Structure 1
Amino acid sequence: MNPLEIEIHSLTDTDRLGQALAATLPAGTTISLIGTLGAGKTRLVQAVAAALGTPREDVTSPTFVLLNEYTSGTRPVYHFDAYRLKDDDEFLNLGPDEYFEGVGLTFVEWGDLVANCLPSNTVRITIEPTDGESRHVTITGLPPEDAAALKASLGQPGA
């Protein structure tokens, strides 16, 4: 499972990536989002949720509430934020297993802080700001068929 490298140059590109992820990732996928403050982690979750039918404006960062659930779309989106948690036990007390095993997509912002608590097949998305709205995105942990489908939906070579 080689990493998938994607260059994003605008918010429209982020929306396209969100649409592609919504179309590609199977139900029950857990996604660890990694990046600095302001890298675009919540924006990517907004794009995925919008592609699944949840109004973008309903999707907010769960920094202070720790978990938001969006169930108005065609598939649920569960959105955790581990930034303010003290340790793995605090994350586990949120009951993430029921979400990991559910029919939705589970996003964990700052997933690297609770990596030991995430399923072994977690997809990892690292977002690195490069300039203005531009981002370098690295996706690891996708099964080959999902990586190929994602590349194809983004119009990337090697699909």
Structure 2
Amino acid sequence: MTSPRAQLTLHSPEETCALAERLSASLRPGDVLLLSGGIGAGKTHFARCLIHALQEAPEDVPSPTFTLVQVYDTGAGELWHADLYRLSDPDQCVELGLTDAFEDAICLVEWPDRLEDLAPGNALSLDFTTDERETVRHLAMRWTDPRWDTRAGSLAA
């Protein structure tokens, strides 16, 4: 894995939400966010805030842990929120249509390690960790595609 290109400390759920809202303003179809971190690290909270920021009339955003994928219509285009925690085989991503969605939808993928070789190389990787008190979130952002240089890089400024 590449070294983080940017690192942030998020001191509250509100700071996590504010970051998601700022990033949401620049997202468009074909953008993939890979959300990593342990259970309770803040992945789903971040995803909910981002989805709400893109919805004209925010609706309930359940965790897709049991359905694997939830699809939303947003002002920026179709958004797929996938939680691959229960995925047993990466080929199931193809069956779900997730790999096609990487091309023409905004995709938020929790537990992206389950994708194995199917993870898109142009994705923005967000790795959430907690401190020992589990009140502060640390976020390491990684990317190789230049499309993220300004969009993700400005979040750390």
Q: Please state which band the TM-score falls in when normalised by the shorter chain.
A: 0.7 to 0.9
In the TM superposition, what whole-angstrom CA distance separates every residue of 1:69-107 from its partner, at most 9, and x where no partner exists? Answer: 1114443321111111111122221111221111x3101
Q: Report how far residue 60 of structure 1 moved.
A: 1.4
Contact 2:6–2:156 (Cα < 8 Å) also in 1? no
- Normalised to the residue count of structure 1, the TM-score between the two structures is 0.84
Unmatched 5+ stretches in structure 1: none
Match of 1:108 in 2: 109
Report how many aligned residue pairs link the two structures: 154
Match of 2:98 in 1: 96
Match of 2:14 in 1: 12
Match of 2:137 in 1: 135
Give the letter for the 2:107 counterpart: T
Q: Report how far residue 127 of structure 1 moved.
A: 0.4
CA RMSD between the two structures = 2.2
Give the letter for the 1:147 counterpart: D
Contact 1:49–1:55 (Cα < 8 Å) also in 2? no
Say if 1:26 and 1:57 are closer, same or farther in 2 by CA, change over 3 A: closer
In the TM superposition, what whole-angstrom CA distance separates every residue of 1:115-156 from its partner, at most 9, and x where no partner exists? Answer: 31121212111000113431000111164563334444x472
User: Where do residues 38-49 of structure 1 align in structure 2 (5 Å cutoff)?
Assistant: 38-49=40-51
Of the three residues 10, 20, 35, the one matched with 1:33 is 35
Give the letter for the 1:11 counterpart: P
Match of 1:75 in 2: 77
Unmatched 5+ stretches in structure 2: none
Contact 1:18–1:44 (Cα < 8 Å) also in 2? yes
Say if 1:145 and 1:87 are closer, same or farther in 2 by CA, change over 3 A: closer
